Amino acid sequence: MRIIDLLSKKSVELNLHASTKLESIDKMVDLVNNSGNLNDQEEYKKAIIAREEMSTTGIGEGVAIPHAKTKAVNNACLAAGVSKNGVDYESFDGSLSHLFFMIAAPEGANDTHLEVLSRLSTILMDEDFRNNLINASSIDEFISLIDKKEAEKFPEEEVEEVIVVDSKYPKVLAVTACPTGIAHTFMAAESLAKMGEKKGVSIKVETNGSSGAKNVLTKEEIDNATCIIVAADKKVEMARFDGKKVIITKVANGIHKAEELIERAEKGDAPIYSHTGGGAGEESSNEDETSLRKVYKHLMNGVSHMLPFVVSGGILIALAFLFDDYAINPANFGSNTPLAAFLKGIGDYAFGFMLPILAGYIAYSIGDRPALVVGFVGGVLAKEGGAGFLGALLAGFIAGYIVLGLKRLFTNLPQSLDGIKPVLLFPLFGTLLIGIVMTFIVMPPVVFLNNAMVNFLATLGGSSKILLGLVLGGMMAVDMGGPINKAAYVFGVASLDAGQYEIMAAVMAGGMVPPLAIALCTTFFKNRFTREQRDSGKVNYVMGLSFITEGAIPFAAGDPLHVIPACVLGSATAGALSMLFNAALRAPHGGIFVVPVVSNPIMYLVAIIIGSLVGMIALAALKKPLDKEA
């Protein structure tokens, strides 16, 4: 346990004003409390005074090291103070105390406080070192002096890079997760980590991204954390947080309300989370979650699991058309050559999972693991019965709530039957009920509506078609990854299943423009942006080309009245031009990397470039030059 592992900048005072021993104790207790590691400041102060009554902790040579081990302390920590004038702390040698180090240790913390006390006593024997501490010009210098001296006195100890400054474990933990696991997940993590650093709060953030959980929280870290922030729009593993203070909110708040969340977590301003005993991915109620947002979360859970099937299958099918020979047999285009037939066969299999996966994971989000099979069956019924995307979507929600109903219905069964509920009763009755509901209630009107929509889209042409592209492209830039953006995107994916590939092309073009327009503007109109914004703008080239609209969010959040209208104008232009040029795309993602499989790829790129330039010019016109280049 190194000294600076316990010493927070917020708990250091280089101009301690106190004239008596009791007054200095009050000041030092306040500094300890600044670290956020006390659950009862008065109780801790009483423990300090009780220790002083046993014998003074003024060790002489101008140093006092008051300390206490009590249940009023959550995590071991340290405070430091410098009194230029000195305080009569009843030291053994009668000297005035100029250096104060107050140690706080929780009950059951072994002998942490004694170890720190021993180390402090050792390094403070050096008079030159003490004088350097007293004359330190900044808190950073003060801590650096201690760090160097400790390393000098204990050379046998391997000194690791210090990441946590408040204690051995991070004070605040966080988990971020968004439906796609691409942008919002990591933006929220970055925002929380930066705010923690700014506030002097040690924090560790676990990201539940598209490639799995990274920087996973350990049991020891969870046990020692003051509070956990769960900023997620999909299920994350919650059982591990049972009995801890947990703030549960949406991932967008992790980006836009990081300061508020960090302040609440530091104070422990959160309810105790009680796990209800569901599956590993069970979620608790989001404290600011509306019924509409819950529906959105369930939908996005299905979409996020569906996307890999659609992307891989769609790209393979698109490649089959790219490598095929239309002249061989126009009626069999896509499967004329052996390579094309192979690619299309594999792609069709992968793409065919789209609707069952969508329905299955919507149901899973609602009713947990027992609802998965019921949702899958509902999705297959929608696919085979011609109900399409809309039918599968309804099947997922219906299946989830059917299983919730069955759980309540079977609550009073004997406990001896608990083991067969998830493997027999829920799947059996759930599958039977979803079959009845889908076949006789849902599918007839949905099939009719689905066919009507396909026929309507097929008849669109000229100005109507361009108008649709303009609206969808603009929607992609309104909230950049939010519900409006996702509504346009889901419509594009649904149109793939209906064979309307131009819609997906317009949607992706609209989604690529906001980051690209901002990147171009930060490059060619530098005087509108700070140095930090210009540096961030470079990353948006990659984000835009990769069809990650969320790259524009930091700029939109900082200046929504100027950034959002400019991006909407650029995206709408790109979507309309994509439709005008009859660009078609069978893959729902991929950005610049799938342009080779777009029909009319050159003009599709032209649409994206023009849309980005329009967005850039509009943003430059709306934003005024800064008074002084930052």
- Condensed to tens digits (0 to 9), the pLDDT of residues 439-451 reads 999 999 988 887 7
Identify which has the larger pLDDT, 236 or 415: 236
Identify which has the larger pLDDT, 385 or 293: 385
Is residue 281 predicted with pLDDT exceeding 50?
Answer: no
Across residues 333-337, what is the average pLDDT?
85
Instruction: Please report the pLDDT score of residue 187 as a whole number.
Output: 72
What radius of gyration, in Å, describes the C-alpha atoms of the chain?
31
The full DSSP string for 27-87 is HHHHHHHHTT-BS-HHHHHHHHHHHHHHS--EEETTEE--EEEETTBSS-EEEEEEEEEEE
329 contacts 273 by C-beta, under 8 angstroms: no
In sequence order, the 6+-apart residues with CB closer than 8 A to the CB of 505 are 578, 583, 584, 585, 598, 604
Instruction: Please report the pLDDT score of residue 464 as a whole number.
Output: 85
CB 629: neighbour CB atoms within 10 A? Answer: 11
CA-angle at 313, arms to 309 and 319, nearest 5°? 155
At 454, the pLDDT band (50, 70, 90 cuts) reads low
Pairing assessment for the beta strands 203-209 and 172-177 based on DSSP bridges? parallel
Instruction: Please report the pLDDT score of residue 279 as a whole number.
Output: 38
Identify which has the larger pLDDT, 512 or 282: 512
Catalytic pick among 77, 113, 178, 521: 178
Please state, for a pLDDT cut of 90, what percent of the chain lies above it: 34
331 contacts 350 by C-beta, under 8 angstroms: no
Instruction: Please report the pLDDT score of residue 159 as a whole number.
Output: 39
Is residue 283 predicted with pLDDT exceeding 60?
Answer: no
The full DSSP string for 249-279 is E-HHHHHHSHHHHHHHHHHT-SPBP---S--
pLDDT digits (tens, 9 = 90+) for 583-607: 998 877 778 888 888 889 999 999 9
Instruction: Please report the pLDDT score of residue 61 as a whole number.
Output: 79
Looking at residue 592, the DSSP 8-state letter turns out to be G
Which amino acid does the sequence have at 205?
V
Pairing assessment for the beta strands 58-60 and 63-64 based on DSSP bridges? antiparallel
Instruction: Please report the pLDDT score of residue 539 as a whole number.
Output: 81
Instruction: Please report the pLDDT score of residue 42 as a whole number.
Output: 92
Instruction: Please report the pLDDT score of residue 46 as a whole number.
Output: 92
Pairing assessment for the beta strands 97-106 and 63-64 based on DSSP bridges? parallel
Is residue 630 predicted with pLDDT exceeding 80?
Answer: no
Q: Is the dihedral of CA 587, 593, 599, 604 positive or negative?
A: positive
Is residue 517 predicted with pLDDT exceeding 90?
Answer: yes
At 162, the pLDDT band (50, 70, 90 cuts) reads very low
Instruction: Please report the pLDDT score of residue 166 as a whole number.
Output: 41
Specify the long-range contacts of residues 432-438, CB closer than 8 Å, at least 24 apart. Answer: 433/374, 433/402, 434/374, 434/375, 434/377, 434/378, 434/381, 434/395, 434/398, 434/399, 434/402, 435/377, 435/381, 437/398, 437/402, 438/378, 438/381, 438/382, 438/385, 438/387, 438/391, 438/395, 438/398
Structural domains in the chain, CATH included, are 3-153 (3.40.930.10), 172-289 (3.40.50.2300), 292-438 (no CATH), 462-622 (no CATH)
Which amino acid does the sequence have at 454?
V
At 284, the pLDDT band (50, 70, 90 cuts) reads very low
At 262, the pLDDT band (50, 70, 90 cuts) reads very high
Looking at residue 245, the DSSP 8-state letter turns out to be B
Q: Is 67 a catalytic residue?
A: yes
Q: Is the dihedral of CA 417, 419, 424, 427 positive or negative?
A: positive
225 contacts 170 by C-beta, under 8 angstroms: yes
Q: What is the mean pLDDT of the chain?
A: 84
Across residues 479-492, what is the average pLDDT?
76
Across residues 450-471, what is the average pLDDT?
76
Is residue 316 predicted with pLDDT exceeding 90?
Answer: no
> Rounded CA gap, 333 and 385, in Å?
25
pLDDT digits (tens, 9 = 90+) for 541-582: 887 888 878 778 778 867 888 999 999 999 999 999 999 999
Is residue 132 predicted with pLDDT exceeding 80?
Answer: yes
Q: Residues, the chain, total?
A: 630
516 contacts 544 by C-beta, under 8 angstroms: yes
Give the Å distances, CA to CA, from 329 to 333, 342, 348, 541.
Answer: 6, 16, 19, 41
Instruction: Please report the pLDDT score of residue 565 as a whole number.
Output: 95
64 contacts 86 by C-beta, under 8 angstroms: no
Looking at residue 158, the DSSP 8-state letter turns out to be P
511 contacts 525 by C-beta, under 8 angstroms: no
In sequence order, what are the beta bridge partners of 81? Answer: 13, 100
Is residue 139 predicted with pLDDT exceeding 80?
Answer: yes
Q: How many helices (H) and strands (E) does the chain have?
A: 23, 11
307 contacts 496 by C-beta, under 8 angstroms: no
> Rounded CA gap, 130 and 538, in Å?
48
Across residues 250-279, what is the average pLDDT?
81
Is residue 98 predicted with pLDDT exceeding 50?
Answer: yes
Is residue 62 predicted with pLDDT exceeding 80?
Answer: yes
pLDDT digits (tens, 9 = 90+) for 9-33: 889 999 998 889 999 999 999 999 9
Give the Å distances, CA to CA, from 87 to 91, 110, 333.
Answer: 10, 31, 91
pLDDT digits (tens, 9 = 90+) for 182-219: 557 777 888 898 899 888 889 999 988 766 788 899 98
